[in-house]
Structure 1
C-alpha cells in the first residue's frame, strides 16, 4: 500500500529528467517513484526499447520493469508493446505529464516567452498560462540561463492579429489541395476577391503569409493572412504545381521586401565596460574596453529605435561610430525630440 501512495502522489507535470552517469546509464534509484520517473524519461525519446536494454538503462530487473510499465499505463501513459517484446511510448487520448531535461525545459520556456508575442487570437492566454506553470517549476540555475537568452525589454503585442480558424482552414486546404476564395485588402488598402491554390503558410517578421497560385492573375502571390477575410472553400481541388525555384521562404521574403541583416551598430561609451555591463544587453552584442575610461559596444539589431532608447537609458555619454545610416537616424530622432520640447 505504501508503494501505491507513492505512485499516485501529486507530482509536477514538468520535471527535470534524471542525470546521466559517465557510462551513459542512469543513476541507480532507490524508490519506485524515482524509478518510474527514470523509466519515463527513457521512453519519452520516442524509440522502441527492448526489455533487456530498457531494464539495464533503468537499473532494474526485467520483472520489475514490467510492473513499472503497468504502473505507467495506470497513470495514463500509453506504453505499447510490439510483437518482438519492445516497449514504446505512443500517442494516446490525452496529454500525460512530461519529464524534460534541463535543455528541453529551457527551450520550452524561451519558446513560450516568444509565443506570447504571437499574432494569433485566443492563443496568447494559453501561452501565458503554460509559461506560468513551467516557470514556477524552473530551477534557479535554469532561470538565470533563460533570462540571459531573452531581450531585456517587455513584450509588445502588435495590432494585426490572425484568426486561428483562418490559419487552420488554410493549412487544411493546402494539405488537401483545395481551392480557396477570400476577400483581400492589400498594402494600398485596395479590396479584391481572390481565388487561390494555397500551398504554404510562412511566419516572417512576426506576421503570417500565405503562398498561393492566384487563379485570376495566373501567377504566384503572397498574402498577409491578417488581411484575409470571408474565407470559403468551394469544394474543388487542384493538382499541385512546382514551387518557385527560389524556395518558399525566400520567395515570400523577396515579395515583401524584408530587409537583410543590417550592418552592426558600433557605439563608443565614455565609461569602462564594467560600468556598462549591468546597463546593456551584452548577451545580444559585444562589450569591450578601449582604455581605462572608455569602451565599445557592438550589436546587430533591426530596430534602431529600440537601440537608441537603450543607449540613452544608460545615462552614460556615448558616440555612434557606425553605420552612417544609424548616425543619420539618431540625428533626425534627436531633432524631432528637440522640436517637441520647444515651448
Structure 2
C-alpha cells in the first residue's frame, strides 16, 4: 500500500510538471506498465483529480481544471519560490492580498523542512513601503500567525511607543490588518490583561528551527468577540491631537484614500461622512485631510481651522495670488 501511495504521488507530480504525457512515457518514468498507469489514473480520478485522457495516436494524459483546487505537489525549488513570493505579498500592503498571502504562508512554512526554511530566510527580498507605514517582516507575520493558529505561547521582545523595551510572554489570539499596519491581539501573561501589539515592534524568540517553543494554551474570548472592533477601539485615539470633520465623500471613498489608521469613519448620508482623526498635531491633521482630495468642513477643534487658514495663505502665496508675508508666523500645533 505504501508503494502504491508513493507511486500515486509521483504520478501526480509528473502530471503537474508538464502539460501532457503519453502512457509509455509515464510508464517509463515510474517503472511500471502502461496498464498500471491506467489503473493509477483511475485511482487519482477517484480522489477527484481531473485527469483527462486523449485518445488516438497523439493522445495522452493531462491534468485538467476541476470544480475544486486539488492539492499541489512542489519540489524544493518550487516551494522556496512560492514561500518567498508569499512573504513579499504578505508585507506589500496591497489591499486584499496581505491577509490571504499570510494565511497561505503560515500553512506552507509550517510544513517546510528546516533546510528549505533556511533557504527562504536567506533570500534577499526587500519591500519598498510608504514612509507613513512601518514595514513588517513577513517572516515575523508567519511566525505570529502560526502561533495564533497552533495556540502556542510566544516569548517576545517588544518596543513600546515611547521607546521602552520589554520582554513579554503572551498568548497570541488574532492578527488584524488595520489601515497599513498589522496588530496582534494577545493576552499578556505577566500583566494578566489584553494587549494590542504592533507587529512591526515585536521580535519573537524562537527555537533554532525558527518555530515557537512555548506551551499550548486554551484560547480566551476576545472582549466583544470581534478582533477588528477590539483593535479599532484600542488604536484609533492614541495620538494627542484629535479633530472631527465632515467630508463631502462617501465613507467607502474616504477609507480607500486615507493613509492613517488613527481614524474613525461614520457615514453621514450616501455622499458624506464624519471623520474623527487622531494625529500628533494640527499640521499633521491638515496634511492628511488635504490628501483626501475632497471638500470638508471642520467641526472641532478651532486649532485645526486656524492651521488650515495658515496653509491656505501659504498656498495662495505660492500661486502668486496673495501679497508676500512680512513676518513669519508659527502655526498652532494644538
Say yes or no: TM over 0.5.
no
TM-score tier by shorter-chain length is 0.3 to 0.5
